[in-house]
């Protein structure tokens, strides 16, 4: 499977309340295209979340008995 890429030339900015109805767009797509889009957005979200995290380091310390 090819890595999906975002075509930034297709991005359109709308004013709040003037944006088109997304469900009409998705109703025109086949079930396969809908699943591919969900996977694309999932990968974008997953990659963003994992790239911005810090590495975790754990240390186990033993207390001295007195």
Domain locations in the chain as residue ranges:
21-50
| Helix (H) or strand (E) run with residue 38 in it | helix 31-51
Q: Which two tokens stand for residue 13?
A: 């900015």
pLDDT tens for 17-49 read 888 888 888 899 999 999 999 998 888 877 655
Q: Answer yes or no: are the C-beta atoms of 43 and 4 closer than 8 Å.
A: yes
What's the pLDDT score for residue 32?
96
What's the pLDDT score for residue 35?
94
Q: Map tokens 């709040």 to a residue.
A: 16
Over residues 5-20, the mean pLDDT reads 82
What's the pLDDT score for residue 62?
81
């Amino acid at each position: 499977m090819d890595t999906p890429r975002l075509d930034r030339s297709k991005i359109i900015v709308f004013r709040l309340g003037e944006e088109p109805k997304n469900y009409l767009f998705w109703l025109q797509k086949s079930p396969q295209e809908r699943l591919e889009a969900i996977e694309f957005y999932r990968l974008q979200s997953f990659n963003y979340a994992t790239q911005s995290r810090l590495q975790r380091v754990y240390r186990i310390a033993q207390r001295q008995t007195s």
